[in-house]
Amino acid sequence: MKVSTESLGNCQTALTIEAEDAELDKSLEEAYHHLVNEVSIPGFRKGKTPRAILVQHIGKKNLLEEALEYLVPQLYKQAIESQEIKPIARSEIEIIQTEPLVFKAIVSLKPEVKLGDYNSIRLEPDPVIKIAKKEVADAVEKFRESQGAWVPVDRSVELGDLVAMDIEANVDGKPWLNHKGILYEVDKDSSSPVPGFASRLQGAEKNKEMNFSLTVPDDYPVKEMCGKEGTFKVTVTEIKEKELPELNDELARSVGYENLADMRKKVAVDLKAKTEARNRLESKQKALDALVEISEVSYPPILEDEEITGILRDEAQRLGFRELGDYLKKTNKMEEELKQELRPIAQKRLIQGLVLGKLAEEEKIEISSSEVDNKVDEIANDAEDKENARQFLSLPQVRQSIEQSLLTQKTMDRLLQIAIGNAENKTKGE
């Protein structure tokens, strides 16, 4: 066997492998011994057909294909071992010629990451958060609205109402909507089914049919309907308005607070904690963006393709699709088109992950089994079916995913600590 290598850049190497005649002859003989026991030829017992007769019966091409099926992987394995190459994914193999046998393997290698001087990254500490009284009042009022009850009213429709209605709609003369008794919240900002529909319901009277037209927007998901006129026939059969509870100690106690004052105090604390968490998350992202900016990353294209496939699978599962193909059909897009749309997102995610992985290595950040156990307990205790949750969380691949998530979080925390610490040291005159 002869092997030559060529660097292709982007962490890829091309191996050109040429088999010795003796190696191919041996593989052809082994293929013959395998096939002679599988193929029945009139006039010969199985396993006793001479090679020349077998080739005459099945064709030289089929014998060669059988031989290469075993020989190519064997020579490829010997080649990467002799060249001390460690592939990170299945290689692409192309047969160049068969006489003599020459084939090429495109091998994906481990990504290369050269971190920039991350100790030079500086971020100002997040400002001290003060929650204004109006923010607390707005949050309490939003909660109060969530506790409201819909009650029937004897009047025409107003914005903010909840109505039951029968609706028929056509676009360009073709049927579009046909629903009986459908519930609809009359929100002036609603774009369902098209912008302006909610406003047209204003003033509608119970059990009186109304007819109107609206233009379907240009960005509507169904392209054939974009920009066309929709005609609507609507009959409101029930009108309800939201009746809000009194904002008092009784309302506060009904959800676990001591009184209204205690509710406002704890809402303020919660708002402050959420704002601080959001600011910290934004600071982490800024630090990571800064690190990516000053670092050099190279990786084989196959990792980007795998990242895209992962994004597609996650999205399909999130929307309740078991098979990726079913999700792709629903999007009305070709798989390649969708992959190209996701490529920039995949590139960003992949580069950030590789940079964080290198930083964890440089800073010697690790996750212990006890940390994974604690996270498993936390997730399981929040689950409705704790026993099934624990069984699922005990799967090796799930624990590995949890460990990776914890490692990412801890590494991001360390990066932020470095960035803010540097800024503080500079302020003190480092």
Average pLDDT over residues 288-317: 93
Number of domains in the chain: 3
229 & 322 share domain: no
Q: What is the pLDDT of residues 313-334, one digit of tens each?
A: 888 888 888 787 777 777 767 7
Q: What is the pLDDT of residue 76?
A: 94
**Percent of the chain with pLDDT strictly greater than 70:** 98
Examine the pLDDT at 275 and tell me if it is beyond 60: yes
Of the residues 45, 80, 110, the one at which a domain ends: 110
356 & 322 share domain: yes
Other CB atoms within 10 A of residue 426 CB: 10
Q: Both ends of the chain: CA-CA distance in Å? A: 61
238 & 272 share domain: no
Average pLDDT over residues 140-162: 95
Q: What is the mean pLDDT of the chain?
A: 91
**Which of 39, 44, 30, 37 lies closest to 59, judged by CA?**
39
Distance CA 224, CA 172 (A): 10
Residue 417: which pLDDT band, with cuts at 50, 70 and 90? very high
Average pLDDT over residues 339-359: 95
**Which of 248, 212, 105 lies closest to 202, judged by CA?**
212
Better-predicted residue by pLDDT, 339 or 79: 79
Q: Phi, psi (5° rounding) for residue 188?
A: -60, -25
203 & 232 share domain: yes
188 & 220 share domain: yes
272 & 369 share domain: yes
Average pLDDT over residues 288-308: 96
189 & 261 share domain: no
In a domain, 266, yes or no: yes
Of the residues 110, 128, 161, the one at which a domain ends: 110
We report the CATH number of the domain holding residue 393 as 1.10.3120.10
Specify whether the CB–CB gap between 32 and 122 falls below 8 A.
no
307 & 277 share domain: yes
266 & 380 share domain: yes
305 & 209 share domain: no
Examine the pLDDT at 430 and tell me if it is beyond 70: no
Examine the pLDDT at 180 and tell me if it is beyond 50: yes
**Which of 118, 93, 24 lies closest to 419, judged by CA?**
118
Of the residues 216, 243, 270, the one at which a domain ends: 243
Distance CA 90, CA 307 (A): 16
Domain ranges, residue 234: 149-243
Q: What is the pLDDT of residue 422?
A: 57
Q: What is the pLDDT of residues 33-69, one digit of tens each?
A: 888 888 888 878 777 888 888 888 888 888 888 889 8
- Which pTM does this prediction carry? 0.75
